[in-house]
């Protein structure tokens, strides 16, 4: 039975919607419109001369090997971050869900990193991985493994993946733990009575029942890796060496803010915007259809 | 009742608004700078001294983040009609500012319109040249200038059996010294900060080879990069080989290599003369400074090095908003204040930046500053700027390329790929040239209308 509140007239409902509409308009539609408009222009940094160039900015970007490099970096980076963050979080959540002494303490510790700002987290990792001052970096060099993320693109990528994934583990952990706790004990007990060993119980009972949570987290993690990892990359590698850790969002920043090339930056933002819209649409579709809590 | 109170309030507000106009208030001059502490505080002190010296103008100095951040902030403010009167712009942004048309007020116009005099003939030629048009008209006010020099660890030199008081003059000599250091067990004989500025820009100037056509861009926006030349290739090939042999270490972009010297890890570092303070504070060993090395088989080398640092630009408030005569007068007065030799001399001895005019240099020398042991070599940067007889060529005046922030990064990236072994030095120079030229063509196109 759905309860419906009926307003008399149209003025009041619109008035109540107005604050939200204004916020959406100012902080979303207006800048988005500006970005779309800007992506068709080519102008100098000071905005004194501008030229309408149609789709030229888009054509230039898509023909630029550095942009394509950023696309492949983003694919590698995002999938690695999402899968490692999900895998580790799931493992930890399953362990924390068991009846162990001091479970609350572990849980608190595991959730903690989420409250750390990306740039600060990056600095912490820097102290671990820096080849000269970092604990881990010095150790690696000491045992004869040449570790220098400032010159080795693969190592730089590995480092930003670890730093970005670590930060997301906490978030995933909370959701997985909640998901695990909502699985009825009776189902698990029934499986145990039927003779299913823990590993089998996990893969045949727990994992499928966690699927909605996992799918939701997968989308959230991908969006995180795409858009929220700017601070981590900026503090750790600044997109280098070469451009081996430049992702799409980092390139938008470099071209727009550092290089003051607004047209190219706006065009890249528009492409990214299309991507988010697609991701969100997929998420809603699947979650609406497949999820049965 | 309520209406009367509102009325009274409105009247009071109106009076409060009208009052300052009648009283004699100083004209505010907004000044954005990009210097961190302690230098930023010293700069703000100069503004405070200026304010105390008169009561018609008040310079409000505000820190706006690093140089690139200050540049971006000033440009964004201009687009929003709230640009500062004066902005401190690092040398890399000079090309962009020169082409900025009505966004800026050229210094020579400012001085002519206000009728104030500054003796620019007294300024060091390398400093004056960097910020003036080809015909000698000044575009921005020089202030904090530095150049690049060598810092070396005298203790390490001694251990390797090298003469600690004689840094090799040539790259050939530096290579031998690096081998000796390596043989003596030094893991990192040499490194460099600001890889592009040191190993490409300064390198080209010292050897009098062009970094770009059109006199490094001074001649017009149609300049093209010229770094794909035999000498540059020879040097980059050497660096890559030295890196492979363990004689040279690539320490990262911009200032990333800086910690490697004071902690004793690297025995030689090429860096800005402004690095002196940090070495003095942090190093636990005897160190020395020297002029940048050169290849002695290049005809005429060494020439003068070029400057880094920043200058002050006068900006209009926005695309359609000019400054009043009174505001311009205030800016010009402030510029005249900072051009005084005693201000420049104090800035030089306090911070380690160069004394921008000769009188300031002479004044400091007369006080015996350079002969004090803790200041040994503090005049090396100045001598290096005057090396080659002060006779500057089109290749040693400086660099004036639009989008140069981006070009510097491009060269840096391509160098990194060469150091990683992903491409040959030749490919690195070709790629850097092609990508850099694309930036230059874009900039030319964007600024055609000006």
What pLDDT is stored for residue B450 in this prediction?
Answer: 43
- Report how far Cα A272 is from the mean position of its chain's Cα atoms: 13
**What tens digit of pLDDT does each residue of B373-386 get?**
888 889 999 999 98
A44–B446 CB contact, under 8 Å: yes
Cα(B10)–Cα(A291) distance, rounded to whole angstroms? 61
Lowest mean pLDDT among B81-90, B168-177, B323-332, B348-357: B348-357
**What tens digit of pLDDT does each residue of B151-168 get?**
999 999 999 999 999 999
Q: Is the dihedral of CA A74, A77, A81, A87 positive or negative?
A: positive
Whether pLDDT at B302 is above 60: yes
Contact (Cβ atoms closer than 8 angstroms) between residue B190 and residue B184? no
Whether pLDDT at B61 is above 60: yes
- Report how far Cα A153 is from the mean position of its chain's Cα atoms: 21
Residue B378 lies in a domain: no
Same domain, B337 and B409: no
Residue window 118-147, chain A: list those with CB within 8 Å of chain B: 132-133
What pLDDT is stored for residue A199 in this prediction?
Answer: 87
CB atoms near residue B326 (< 10 Å): 11
Whether pLDDT at B247 is above 50: yes
Cα(A54)–Cα(A60) distance, rounded to whole angstroms? 11
Same domain, B130 and B219: no
Strand, coil or helix: B145:
strand
* Minimal CA separation from B443 to chain A, in Å: 7
What pLDDT is stored for residue B36 in this prediction?
Answer: 83
Residues of B in contact with A48 (CB under 8 A): 100-103, 319, 449-450
Q: B123: which DSSP letter?
A: B
3-state secondary structure B345-385: HHHHHHHCCCCCEHHHHHHHHHCCHHHCHHHCCCCHHHHHH
**What tens digit of pLDDT does each residue of A241-266 get?**
888 999 999 999 999 888 888 899 99
Interface predicted TM-score (ipTM) over 0.90: no
Report the first-to-last Cα separation within chain A, whole angstroms. 20
Domain count, chain B: 2
What pLDDT is stored for residue B390 in this prediction?
Answer: 63
Whether pLDDT at B178 is above 60: yes
Residue B104 lies in a domain: yes
Mean pLDDT computed over B328-347: 94
pLDDT confidence tier of residue B17, bands split at 50, 70 and 90:
very low
Give yes or no for A42 touching B (CB within 8 A): yes
Cα(B86)–Cα(B110) distance, rounded to whole angstroms? 12
Contact (Cβ atoms closer than 8 angstroms) between residue B397 and residue B215? yes
CA nearest to A239 within chain B: B413
Mean pLDDT computed over B186-205: 95
Q: B298: which DSSP letter?
A: S
Residue B358 lies in a domain: yes
pLDDT confidence tier of residue B60, bands split at 50, 70 and 90:
very high
Whether pLDDT at B19 is above 70: no
Whether pLDDT at B10 is above 70: no
Residues of B in contact with A243 (CB under 8 A): 413
Phi, psi of B267, rounded to the nearest 5 degrees: -85, -25
Give A203's contacts (C-beta < 8 A, 6+ positions apart). none
Give yes or no for A48 touching B (CB within 8 A): yes
Same domain, B202 and B274: yes
Pairing of strands A50-52, B248-250: unpaired
What pLDDT is stored for residue A289 in this prediction?
Answer: 60
Last residue of a domain, one of B321, B341, B366: B366
Write down the residue that tokens 């601070």 correspond to. Answer: A231
Choose, out of A43, A44, A262, the residue to mutate when testing the contact with B (most B CBs < 10 Å): A44
Choose, out of B78, B413, B421, the residue to mutate when testing the contact with A (most A CBs < 10 Å): B413
Write down the residue that tokens 């770094």 correspond to. Answer: B227
Contact (Cβ atoms closer than 8 angstroms) between residue B101 and residue B450? yes
Cα(B379)–Cα(B352) distance, rounded to whole angstroms? 10
Residues of A in contact with B445 (CB under 8 A): 42, 51
Cα(B370)–Cα(B292) distance, rounded to whole angstroms? 20
Contact (Cβ atoms closer than 8 angstroms) between residue B190 and residue B248? yes
Angle at A273 between CA A272 and CA A274, to 5 degrees: 90
Give B8's contacts (C-beta < 8 A, 6+ positions apart). none
CATH code of the domain containing B280: 3.40.190.10
Which positions in chain B have a beta carbon within 8 angstroms of at least one beta carbon in chain A?
68, 72, 75, 78-79, 96, 99-103, 250-253, 256, 259-260, 263, 265, 319, 403, 405-406, 409, 412-414, 416-417, 419-420, 422, 439, 442-443, 445-450
Cα(B313)–Cα(B73) distance, rounded to whole angstroms? 14
Residue B13 lies in a domain: no
Q: Where in chain A are the domains? A: 34-41+51-290
Give B35's contacts (C-beta < 8 A, 6+ positions apart). B43, B63, B88, B144
Residues of A in contact with B439 (CB under 8 A): 259
Of A132, A254, A258, the CB nearest to B259: A132
Residue B140 lies in a domain: yes
* Chain A with chain B: Cβ pairs closer than 8 A: 89
What pLDDT is stored for residue A208 in this prediction?
Answer: 87
Whether pLDDT at B363 is above 70: yes
Q: Which one, of B127, B295, B135, lies nearest residue B206 by Cα?
A: B295
Residue B76 lies in a domain: yes
Query: Could you tell me which residues are beta bridge partners of residue B171?
Result: none
Residues of B in contact with A43 (CB under 8 A): 446
Residues of A in contact with B96 (CB under 8 A): 45, 260
Q: Which one, of B223, B291, B235, lies nearest residue B415 by Cα?
A: B235
Contact (Cβ atoms closer than 8 angstroms) between residue B265 and residue B282? no
Write down the residue that tokens 């290049």 correspond to. Answer: B298
Residues of B in contact with A152 (CB under 8 A): 420
Of A46, A133, A241, the CB nearest to B78: A46
Residue B202 lies in a domain: yes
List, as one string, the DSSP characters of B52-86: HH-SSEEEEEEE-SSHHHHHHHHHHHHHTT---SE
Residues of A in contact with B430 (CB under 8 A): none
Q: B430: which DSSP letter?
A: H
**Average predicted confidence (pLDDT) for chain B:** 90
Pairing of strands B188-192, B248-250: parallel
> What is the second-level CATH architecture of the domain A34-41+51-290?
Orthogonal Bundle (1.10)
Give A132's contacts (C-beta < 8 A, 6+ positions apart). A138, B259, B260, B263, B265
Q: Is the dihedral of CA B362, B364, B368, B370 positive or negative?
A: negative
What pLDDT is stored for residue B22 in this prediction?
Answer: 44
Enclosing domain of residue B58:
27-145+308-366
CB atoms near residue A185 (< 10 Å): 8
pLDDT confidence tier of residue B446, bands split at 50, 70 and 90:
confident
Choose, out of A34, A43, A45, the residue to mutate when testing the contact with B (most B CBs < 10 Å): A45
B100–A260 CB contact, under 8 Å: no
Phi, psi of B225, rounded to the nearest 5 degrees: -60, 140
What pLDDT is stored for residue A290 in this prediction?
Answer: 57
What pLDDT is stored for residue B211 in this prediction?
Answer: 96
* Minimal CA separation from B239 to chain A, in Å: 14
Cα(B372)–Cα(B406) distance, rounded to whole angstroms? 41
What pLDDT is stored for residue A291 in this prediction?
Answer: 52
**What tens digit of pLDDT does each residue of B413-436 get?**
999 999 989 899 999 999 999 999
What pLDDT is stored for residue B136 in this prediction?
Answer: 87
Of A132, A243, A261, the CB nearest to B442: A261
What pLDDT is stored for residue A2 in this prediction?
Answer: 57
Same domain, B208 and B346: no
Same domain, B122 and B141: yes
Pull the structure tokens for residue A87.
Answer: 């895998």
Whether pLDDT at B131 is above 90: yes
What pLDDT is stored for residue B14 in this prediction?
Answer: 47
- Report how far Cα A86 is from the mean position of its chain's Cα atoms: 12
Write down the residue that tokens 């980092």 correspond to. Answer: A250
Same domain, B193 and B300: yes
Report residues of chain A scoring pLDDT below 50.
1, 293
Q: Which one, of B119, B130, B138, lies nearest residue B341 by Cα?
A: B119
A260–B445 CB contact, under 8 Å: no
Q: B339: which DSSP letter?
A: T
Helix (H) or strand (E) holding B48: helix B39-53
């Amino acid at each position: 039975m759905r309860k419906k509140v009926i307003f008399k007239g149209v003025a009041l409902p619109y008035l109540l919607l107005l604050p939200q509409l204004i916020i959406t308009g100012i902080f979303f539609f207006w800048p988005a419109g500006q970005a779309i408009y800007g992506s068709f222009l080519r102008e100098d940094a000071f905005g004194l001369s501008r030229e309408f160039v149609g789709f030229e900015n888009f054509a230039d970007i898509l023909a630029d090997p550095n942009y394509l490099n950023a696309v492949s970096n983003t694919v590698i980076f995002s999938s690695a971050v999402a899968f490692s963050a999900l895998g580790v979080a799931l493992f930890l959540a399953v362990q924390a869900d068991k009846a162990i002494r001091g479970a609350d303490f572990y849980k608190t510790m595991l959730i903690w990193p989420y409250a750390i700002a990306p740039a600060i987290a990056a600095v912490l990792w820097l102290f671990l991985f820096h080849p000269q001052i970092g604990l881990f970096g010095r150790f690696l060099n000491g045992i004869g493994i040449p570790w220098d993320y400032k010159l080795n693109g693969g190592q730089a990528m590995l480092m930003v993946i670890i730093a970005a994934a670590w930060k997301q583990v906490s978030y995933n952990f909370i959701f997985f733990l909640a998901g695990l706790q909502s699985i009825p004990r009776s189902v698990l007990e029934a499986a145990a009575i039927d003779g299913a060993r823990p590993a089998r119980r996990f893969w045949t009972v727990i994992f499928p029942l966690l699927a909605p949570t996992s799918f939701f987290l997968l989308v959230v993690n991908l969006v995180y890796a795409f858009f929220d990892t700017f601070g981590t990359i900026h503090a750790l590698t600044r997109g280098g060496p070469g451009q081996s850790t430049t992702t799409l969002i980092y390139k938008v920043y470099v071209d727009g803010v550092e290089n003051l090339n607004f047209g190219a930056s706006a065009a890249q933002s528009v492409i990214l915007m299309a991507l988010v819209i697609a991701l969100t649409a997929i998420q809603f579709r699947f979650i609406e259809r497949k999820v049965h809590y | 009742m309520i209406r009367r109170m509102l009325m009274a309030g409105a009247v009071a507000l109106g009076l409060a608004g009208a009052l300052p106009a009648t009283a004699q208030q100083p004209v505010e001059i907004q000044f954005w700078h990009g210097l961190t502490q302690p230098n930023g505080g010293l700069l703000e002190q100069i503004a405070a001294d200026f304010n105390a010296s008169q009561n018609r103008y008040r310079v409000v100095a505000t820190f706006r983040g690093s140089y690139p951040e200050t540049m971006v902030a000033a440009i964004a403010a201009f687009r929003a009609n709230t640009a500062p009167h004066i902005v401190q712009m690092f040398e890399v942004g000079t090309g962009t500012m020169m082409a900025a048309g009505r966004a800026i007020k050229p210094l020579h116009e400012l001085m002519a319109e206000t009728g104030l005099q500054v003796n620019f003939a007294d300024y060091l030629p390398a400093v004056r040249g960097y910020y003036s048009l080809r015909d000698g008209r000044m575009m921005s006010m020089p202030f904090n200038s530095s150049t690049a020099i060598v810092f070396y660890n005298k203790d390490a030199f001694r251990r390797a059996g090298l003469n600690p008081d004689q840094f090799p003059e040539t790259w050939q000599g530096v290579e031998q010294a690096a081998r000796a250091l390596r043989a003596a067990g030094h893991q990192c004989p040499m490194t460099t900060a600001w890889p592009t500025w040191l190993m490409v820009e300064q390198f080209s100037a010292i050897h009098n080879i062009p970094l770009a056509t059109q006199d490094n861009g001074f001649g017009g926006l149609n300049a093209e990069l010229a770094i794909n030349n035999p000498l540059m290739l020879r040097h980059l090939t050497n660096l890559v080989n030295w890196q492979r042999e363990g004689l040279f270490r690539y320490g990262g972009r911009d200032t990333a290599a800086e910690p490697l010297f004071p902690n004793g890890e690297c025995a030689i570092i090429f860096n800005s003369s402004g690095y002196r303070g940090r070495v003095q504070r942090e190093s636990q060993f005897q160190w020395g400074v020297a002029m940048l090395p050169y290849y002695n088989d290049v005809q005429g080398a060494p020439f003068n090095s070029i400057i880094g640092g920043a200058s002050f630009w006068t900006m209009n408030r926005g695309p359609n908003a000019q400054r009043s005569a009174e505001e311009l007068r205030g800016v010009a007065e402030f510029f005249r204040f900072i051009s005084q030799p005693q201000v420049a001399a104090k800035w030089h001895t306090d911070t380690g930046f160069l004394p921008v005019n000769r009188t300031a240099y002479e004044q400091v020398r007369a006080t015996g500053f350079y002969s004090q042991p803790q200041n040994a070599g503090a005049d090396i940067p100045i001598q290096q700027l005057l090396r080659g007889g002060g006779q500057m060529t089109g290749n040693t005046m400086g660099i004036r390329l639009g989008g140069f922030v981006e070009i510097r990064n491009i060269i840096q990236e391509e160098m990194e790929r060469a150091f990683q072994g992903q491409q040959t030095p030749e490919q690195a120079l070709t790629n850097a040239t092609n990508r850099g030229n694309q930036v230059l063509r874009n900039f030319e196109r964007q600024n055609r209308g000006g």
